[in-house]
Amino acid sequence: MGPGGFVPSKSKLTFTDVELLEAAREGKIAKVVKLLDDGVLPDVEDVTGQNPLFVAAMGGHTDVVDCLLKAGAAVDSCNMKRVTPLIAAAHYGHVSVMKRLLAAGADTEAVTVGGASPLISAAEGGSIEAIEEPLGAGVAVDHRDVQNATALTVASQEGHLEIVEKLISAGAFVEATTTTGETALLYAAKRGQSDVVAELIDSGADVNHTDARGSTALIHAAQQGCREAAELLVGTGAYVDHQRNDGVSALIMASNKGYVAIVQDLLNANATVDLTRDDGATALIFASLEGHRGVVEKLLAANATVDHTARDGATAIKLASQAQHFQIVEKLKEAGASGTKGAGRVIDVNELFPQ
């Protein structure tokens, strides 16, 4: 292994080749100029495909990039993952480097092995200035990677609000779906990005869109514990009783996770308290199993059926007793729950946990 972590290629990099790679990576322009003047080729690369232009672009060393381009470095060279200097610079938000590469004719439609374009890479990196460069060069705003994710999908997931706004104003399709059926709104809700959720809703995103598992943005927000996002979704028409493919609803999810405020908000929005998952488990059963006393109290106050029986005879009080949540057992008894015995077997917690 050479200096700076460079791995010599099969063609046996010389010491001066490695010196050029290292100097370019560290932005040492004087040394780069000397090595090029001494006859070191500008496109030498290590076994991963990294060459001086690539590492200089990744590091944001504009003067080194200029020098290498003048020396004849290939502007669209790429590493083993097909990441070009432009894509690397876009990801790290090195706008001046991007300008130099674009002026030298860098391919704005080049994509990585995963299908990421310069625009998608810039959206992931989070630089609004970096986004403007590929957009100004006329790239397709809705280009999709191998998972069908767009720049808007990626920016929403990462919580880059300014970029989301920029992409939408540039005509990005808000309802673009990935291979798993998720939209930008679902990704934002899953990550608890409430400001992005608000922007996407304002831009017409379908609050009741479902992914391949049948989850909605509201279920994702409930799972994340993002109350603000959940409130936005409920307030704009999200179905509070929607159940994903296995029967889990937002109330069941929030109850299982112990998010008391979200549980109360959902109940206030008339969520059905005794809705069941496919195995017959209710929100009260999940909350009792996980020891979420505050949630149990909210559900009981909303008249949850205290002795509802799930698969194999599992009830809230039996599972609370099995898990040694004795305060919850007492709460359930006060609400009229039957005895703690007679479950028939030890309930497997994993069978009831809503992922």
Domains of the chain, by residue range, sit at 1-140, 274-355
pLDDT one-digit tens code per residue, 90-136? 999 999 999 999 999 999 999 999 999 999 999 999 999 999 999 99
For the stretch 236-257, what's the b/e string if a residue is b when 16 or more beta carbons lie within 10 angstroms of its beta carbon?
eebbbebbbeebbbbbbbbbbb
Higher pLDDT, 346 or 319: 319
pTM: predicted TM-score of the whole model, two decimal places:
0.89
Task: Provide mean pLDDT across the span 142-146.
Answer: 96
pLDDT digits (tens, 9 = 90+) for 236-269: 999 999 999 999 999 999 999 999 999 999 999 9
DSSP H stretches of helix in the chain: 15-26, 29-37, 52-59, 62-70, 85-92, 95-103, 118-125, 128-136, 151-158, 161-169, 184-190, 194-202, 217-224, 227-235, 250-257, 260-268, 283-290, 293-301, 316-322, 326-334
Contact 145, 119 (CB under 8 A): no
- Distance between CA 257 and CA 197 in Å, rounded? 21
- Based on DSSP, count helices (H) and strands (E) in the chain, helices before strands: 20, 0
Q: Residue 348 has what pLDDT?
A: 54
278 contacts: CB under 8 Å, gap ≥ 6: 246, 247
Is 90 exceeded by the pLDDT of residue 334? yes
How far is residue 252's CA from residue 245's CA, in Å, rounded to a whole number? Answer: 13
Taking all residues of the chain, what is their mean pLDDT, rounded to a whole number? 92
User: Which pLDDT score, from 0 to 100, does residue 2 have?
Assistant: 33
CB 18 within 8 A of CB 6: yes
pLDDT at 4 over 80: no
Give the HSE-up count for residue 160: Cα atoms under 13 Å, Cβ half-sphere.
Answer: 23
pLDDT of residue 311: 84
Q: How far is CA 245 from CA 204, 220, 278, 338, 341, in A?
A: 25, 14, 9, 31, 32
pLDDT > 80? residue 1: no
Q: In the prediction, which pLDDT does 338 show?
A: 84
Q: Quick one: pLDDT at residue 286?
A: 96
- CATH architecture designation of domain 274-355: Alpha Horseshoe (1.25)
274-355 shares the fold of 1-140: yes
| pLDDT tops 80 at residue 275 | yes
Average pLDDT score over residue span 293-314: 95
Provide the pLDDT for residue 353. Answer: 57
For residue 321, what are the contacts with CB-CB under 8 A and spacing of at least 6? Answer: 329, 340
Q: What percent of the chain has pLDDT over 70?
A: 92
Task: Evaluate whether the domain defined by 1-140 bears CATH number 3.40.228.10.
Answer: no
pLDDT band at 351 (very low <50, low <70, confident <90, very high): low
pLDDT at 347 over 80: no
- The C-alpha angle with vertex 137 and arms to 133 and 140, in degrees rounded to 5, equals 100
Q: What would the pLDDT profile of 158-212 be if each residue is shown by its tens digit?
A: 999 999 999 999 999 999 999 999 999 999 999 999 999 999 999 999 999 999 9
d(CA 150, CA 128): 16
Number of C-beta neighbours around residue 96 at 10 A? 16
Q: How is residue 314 written in tokens? A: 């599992």
pLDDT at 13: 87
